[in-house]
Amino acid sequence: MQEMNRQNIVPVNIEEEMQASYIDYSMSVIVTRALPDVRDGLKPVHRRIIYAMHDEGLVHNKPHSKCAGVVGEVLKNYHPHGDSAVYDALVRMAQPWNLRYPLIQGQGNFGSVDGDSAAAYRYTECRLAAISELLLRDIEKNTVNFVPNFDGRTNEPSVLPSAFPNLLVNGSAGIAVGMATNIPPHNLKETIDAVEVLMDNPNATINDLMKVVPGPDFPTGGYIYGRAGIKEAYETGRGRLCLRARVMSEELKGGRQALIVTEIPYQVNKANLITDIATLARDKKINGISDIRDESDQTGMRIVIELKKGEIPQVIINQLYKLTQMQVTFGVILLALDGGRPRYLSLKRMLQCYIDHRREVVVRRTRFELDKARKRIHIVKGLLIAVANIDKVIKIIRQSPSVDEARQSLKTAFKLTDEQCTAILDMPLRRLTSLEIEKLQAEHDELVKMIEEFASILSNPDRVTKLIKGELDEVRDKFGDERQTEIVNAEGELTIEDLIAEERMVVTVSHAGYIKRTPTSLYRRQRRGGRGAAGVNLKEEDWVEQIFVGTTHNYILFFTNKGKAYWLKVYELPQGGRASRGRPIINLLALEPNERIEAMIPVDKFTADRFLVMCTRKGQVVRNSLDLYSNPRKVGIKAINIADDD
């Protein structure tokens, strides 16, 4: 026995075996789990969930059913994996902040934009949304191929007919082995318009398509800044988008301002965002925030950020964009299965793949309808022959000892087929009334017209195109809505300087390190003999050490005892009245321990023909061109090398 076992052992190179096994595993993950099909925009698990719910009759106008039953049905017949994978996919298809057009209507706790998880599937209920039924339209008319399920007991569709371009409309995200996809959602109206533009003009360019579909449309709204990333993604399949929250200012009592956030970037957790802002305010990394609260309700999102008195809203907004997820980068990866293979796709290629799919679906559906009509008219012709010769038919049937002999006799007497004879034998007596005979003749005439129509469609590609466009128009008119995400040209991006009026300011710095800015308008002209006005209230051991005048758009360069230079914009300084003390400058600059400000100077422009001259106590002199300081860094730069004893 041991000798026989040795003979069955086949030596294999371990490197080759590992490589082959890894490639097989990778392709299995890529094709059967992680990547969507370019035709219907669904991964296998999503397709199986939707088909199982359709098979169970859980359509949009029927009562909801327990999600546990749906998960069990999917696991039993189609998806032999963990129940959590199926339920998580089902939940995501019901969340309006994840899908632009949710495919499932949920009832119960399906989570929230705050990151709350859904309730267990024994508590929640679901049914198909009306728009998801369009993905299944005509599936029973041999429009797509069916393949055996994992155990061969039943069949499942390899792709859905998809009466709208779901991949672009709802997007997709997934991580496979060695590759990932991240397709953003789009507006249904715009996407369908783009499909029709490409159908009318197969040579349309990306610019032509972007005239009707300018960019993604996220369910959470917000802004997309710049079109360069959009165009790059549409042309190459990869690009980066800058997403920003929608913020507006609102005046509160006492002259204070509040920032109201009504829309946040796609896939940003609202609760975490609020926590991050509160932490930054507490740690003094963002000054000027006095309170933050979440007033969101069923009517929409509303995050209120109250500002301290005298703070400029635009400055705080800029800091929030820079330091929090109120501004994020969305990496577009248009990767999908095209012909069973993963490919990076341009916008035009994605639309063309969908058009080719719909053309195949419509042709297969028309062939199915044509075959069905031909089979029916064949039966109707037999029934009309029988009705016209009813006495002879009855005589033949009565004289026949069995059904089979009656069928054979009818077949011989009237030159009928087996199908026609069976229909005659199954015909009830009520079909012999004159009214029923008229109905048979009317049905025959209608079938003749239908056959001619179907044959005309199959012989004319233009009619197929017209049919596809007509069905897309119906979908657009019924389910289309307005764009939620606003796209702003890069040229139109506003800098903080654009949002802040240029105003002259008096900047004062005390010996103890307190700094403030005060509008020059508060210092009115004094006549002869005037008594003066208080410029600042300081403690007895403190005094004003430096004072200069600049505008809100000027930079201030700070030089420290360690030879480093730091930058601040004048508008970033705390504004106060003539009598206010200001704030410690160490709260505004990222100074090192034992580092202190030794000098400062206002700068309006960093040009090569202007210079900074620095001199140390021991007589070291350095002259630097001002343009060397034109790239501000939060942590500062080395401006001059100073010895430890200098």
Residues tagged active-site? 123
Tokens found for residue 26 = 């990778």
Cα torsion 210, 214, 218, 224: sign? positive
Q: Which of 353, 369, 387 is nearest to 167 (CA)?
A: 353
Question: Is the CB of residue 30 less than 8 Å from the CB of residue 179?
Answer: yes
- What is the H or E stretch that residue 611 is in? strand 611-615
Pairing of strands 486-488, 223-225: parallel
- What is the H or E stretch that residue 18 is in? helix 14-29
d(CA 58, CA 126): 8
| DSSP 8-state code for residue 429 | G
Task: Tell me, rounded to whole angstroms, the distance of Cα 616 from its chain centroid.
Answer: 57
Helix (H, G, I), strand (E, B), or coil: what is residue 549?
strand
Tokens found for residue 272 = 């975490």
Neighbours of 134 (CB within 10 A): 21
Tokens found for residue 344 = 């990076």
d(CA 86, CA 75): 8
d(CA 91, CA 600): 58
Neighbours of 387 (CB within 10 A): 18
3-state secondary structure 93-145: CCCCCCCCCCCEEEECCCCCCCCCCCCCCCCCEEEECCHHHHHHCCHHHCCCC
Q: Which of 17, 21, 46 is nearest to 33 (CA)?
A: 46
CA angle 142, 146, 151 (to 5 degrees): 150
Tokens found for residue 141 = 């008319």
